[in-house]
Amino acid sequence: MVCQPQEQEEVMEGKPLSKKQLKQLSEEAAKLNWNEPPRKQIKLRTDLVWQDKKKRVVSINSVIGYLAMWAVRQSPYGYPQGLEKGLKEFRKNYTPPEYQEMTIKQLQIFIAEAIGKSPTIKSWNNPKKGKHTMVFTSRYNTIKPDYDFIDLTALGKNTGHSVWLENMYDDGDK
């Protein structure tokens, strides 16, 4: 990464980036070498999203589409039980209108509130068997799906991040 150490510290501390710094991060993200470790790529994209202060128009269909994608990706099974019902509950509990201009923080709040009011989605946070326990996992040692669950905080953050990243690219803020 070409950023000066001082600029990296500002990103790490969560201070707002200047337009020059955002532009530099955008240029670096566009030039990424896909053979580099993914952590570096993810950090650049994440910094761009969380430092974005613009209000962007968000559609309910985009939010629900990414919620479904992340629910399937995070599910220990092919898809979570009651996916369609959970998405309908989410849509009912998501308060903004179909198209709403908002910031990333407002979007995350709306998503978290709608997830919290959806009993089916909240049930995904519980394993089918047993209780939540701390377990060591690796690529060679995984837990059985019946003892796994979907982390709802991660589900909400991943959903909001994906929606926002798509909007940034659609608006030409690459």
Asked whether the predicted pLDDT for residue 2 surpasses 80, the reply is no
Distance CA 67, CA 115 (A): 10
What pLDDT band is residue 31 in, cutting at 50, 70 and 90? low
Task: Please give the C-alpha separations between residue 90 and each of 69, 98, 166, in angstroms, as whole numbers.
Answer: 14, 13, 20
CA–CA separation, 47 and 11 (whole Å):
7
Q: Say how far apart CA 145 and CA 154 lie, in whole Å.
A: 18
Give the start-to-end residue ranges of the domains of the chain. 5-50, 56-170
Q: Give mean pLDDT, residues 104-122.
A: 91
DSSP state of 31: T
**Euclidean distance between CA atoms 75 and 120, whole angstroms:** 14
Question: What are the structure tokens assigned to 105, written together?
Answer: 């923080």
State how far the Cα of 67 lies from the Cα of 63, in Å rounded to an integer: 6
Segment 83-110 mean pLDDT:
91
pLDDT of amino acid 159 = 92
pLDDT of 1 over the 50 cut: no
Question: Which has more confidence, 97 or 23?
Answer: 97
50-70 average pLDDT score: 88
Q: What is residue 87's predicted lDDT score, i.e. its pLDDT?
A: 94
33 to each of 21, 48, 153, how far by Cα in Å? 20, 18, 30
Instruction: Look up residue 32 and give its amino acid.
Output: L
CA distance 124 to 141: 22
| pLDDT on residue 133 | 59
